[in-house]
Amino acid sequence: MAKVIVTGANGQVGRELQVLAGHFPEFQFHFTSRFNLDITDEQAVQHFFNQHPADYCINAAAYTAVDRAEEEPEAAERTNALAPRYLAEACAQQNIPMLHFSTDYVYHNDVNRPLLESDETCPAGVYARTKLAGEQAALEAHSKTMILRTSWVYSVFGHNFVKTMLRLGRERDRLTVVYDQIGSPTHARSLARAAIAILQQYEQGAVPREQQHGIYNYSNEGVCSWYDFALAIFEMSGIDCEVAPILSKDFPTPAARPSYSVMDKSKFKAAFGLNIPHWRDDLKAMMTTLRSHEAAASSRE
């Protein structure tokens, strides 16, 4: 049985990995959070890996409060930039592969076509800069570091756009949502499944060495604006709330968002041969799960 250390167990992807773990008996997952492993402490990371030998590491931990990062750059730096390096160094010492999640925010360029992993990066804001720094540090520290850049992540767990829209849609009759930011929503469970599928291919010896080090784009298929995404959320939930499109300049935020961050996933598909669900299909699945969770919670009251 292959042992997998997972950091960021309480985040969206970490929680989804916990849901899926029982379906993959070939792996023994060791889930960690800041309560039992401070990944921003280099010595703590080294000690933990020495005490818990593993075959793989999935780093699902991140500082994701994009706007708050502008006021807390040190905290973002520790989690997004320093921690990936410490984890990669520990993995290098153990000679085990590390899978690390990053973000579409690192691109933030003016290319108006699906973005390639080889495209220039131009991060804007503390969150984006620290995530790119973390990628670079991890890749430099360990020859078996794989980066999955993803976008617009949501889940039944944690705080995200889908759950915010559902809450606001129930509270208000009308909302305004930006329509000039284009990307691809990604269900955290789809991302978690992809990560486990990659580990399965490692176990089968199907991941050549040249594919074990580098950057891959992964998001759900399809393209939309945040406005389109909001409309789909209300359509699938049956919430009657008017949504009006607005420009980003009319909804200023402390940190700039990319206007176009649709990612080309050809490299990922060619390397791993995995099918990627369309964002509407995964949104529908997530909404079904959320309703089930809400019904269960209501029955316990």
Q: Residue 33 is part of which domain span?
A: 2-158+185-219+262-278
Distance between CA atoms of residues 27 and 204, nearest Å:
13
Question: Can 127 be counted among the known catalytic residues?
Answer: yes
Sequence-distant (≥ 6) Cβ neighbours of residue 218 within 8 angstroms:
148, 149, 150, 186, 191, 194, 263, 265, 268, 276
> Looking at the domain assignment, is residue 257 inside a domain?
no
Provide the CATH number for the domain around residue 38: 3.40.50.720
Residue 246 counted as domain residue? no
* Per-residue confidence (pLDDT) for residue 124, from 0 to 100: 94
Q: How many domains does the chain have?
A: 1
Evaluate if residue 297 carries a pLDDT over 80.
no
| 188: its two tokens | 């955290």
- Is the pLDDT at 78 greater than 70? The verdict is yes
pLDDT tens-place string over residues 181-212? 999 999 999 999 999 999 999 999 999 888 99
Query: Is residue 301 predicted with pLDDT exceeding 70?
Result: no
Q: Does residue 23 have a pLDDT over 70?
A: yes
pLDDT of residue 174: 97
Residue 1 in tokens: 């049985």
- 229 occurs within a structural domain: no
Tens digit of each residue's pLDDT (9 = 90 or more) over 256-283: 999 999 999 999 999 999 999 999 999 9
Mean pLDDT of 235-261: 96
Instruction: Quick: pLDDT tens for 126-158.
Output: 999 999 999 999 999 999 999 999 999 999 999
Percent of the chain's residues with pLDDT above 90: 93
- The 3 state secondary structure assigned to 71-105 is CCHHHHHHHHHHHHHHHHHHHHHHCCCEEEEEEHH
Annotate 69-108 with b (16+ C-beta within 10 A) or e (fewer). beeeeebbbbbbbbbbbbbbbbbbebebbbbbbbbbbbbb
Specify if 241 maps to a domain: no
Q: Which amino acid is at 10?
A: N
Is pLDDT larger for residue 297 or for residue 179? 179
Q: Which amino acid is at 216?
A: Y
Average pLDDT across the chain, whole number: 96
Residue 18 belongs to some domain of the structure = yes
Is residue 298 over pLDDT 80?
Answer: no
* Choice among 84-88, 116-120, 257-261, 289-293 with the minimum mean pLDDT: 289-293
Q: Is 298 contained in some domain? A: no
- Mean pLDDT for 10-26 is 97
Whether residue 247 is contained in a domain is answered as no
pTM score of the predicted model: 0.95
Residue 242 lies in a domain: no
**Is residue 295 over pLDDT 90?**
no
Q: What angle do CA 293, 188, 169 make, to 5 degrees?
A: 55
Which residue in 56, 63, 127, 216 is the catalytic one? 127
Mean pLDDT for 151-169 is 97
Q: Find the DSSP H helices in 172-224.
A: 188-203
Query: What are 97-120's pLDDT values in tens digits?
Result: 999 999 999 999 888 899 999 999
